[in-house]
Amino acid sequence: MNDEAKVKLLTITVDTPDTYSSYAGYGHLAAGLTVGLSAMAAGLAIGIVGDAGVRANAQQPKLFVGMMLILIFAEALGLYGLIIGLVVATKKVDGLCSSYKA
C-alpha cells in the first residue's frame, strides 16, 4: 500500500460549517451524552456490585458465579449506550434544519 492510500485511509471527513446543520450538531451532542452517561452508570453499578461481591465472596465462595453474572449485566448497560450513540451519530437526515450558512 502506497503512502497516498494510507493517508486517505487515515483521514476523517468533517463537514464544513456550510453543510453542518444544527440537527447534526444536536445529534452528535446527544450521541456523546448517551455514551458518556451510560458508561458512567455502568461504572457506578460495577463499582457497587464489585465491592459488595468481593466482600460476600470472602464469606461464601459460592457467590462468585452470581457476582460475575451481575457484573456482566452491569457492563451491558455501557455497551447498549455505545450502540445507541453510534446509531444516533451516524443517522443522516437531510432537510430538517438549515445549515449555518448565511
pLDDT in tens, 3-37: 666 666 556 555 566 667 778 888 889 999 999 99
- For the four alpha carbons of 92, 94, 97 and 101, in that order, the dihedral sign comes to positive
Residue with grid cell 452517561, as numbered in its chain:
37
- For 30-80, the pLDDT digits (tens) are 999 999 999 999 999 999 999 999 999 999 989 999 999 999 999 999 999
Q: Report pTM.
A: 0.71
Contact status, residue 27 vs residue 89, Cβ threshold 8 Å: yes
Cell numbers at residue 92, please?
443522516
Cell of 65: 458465579
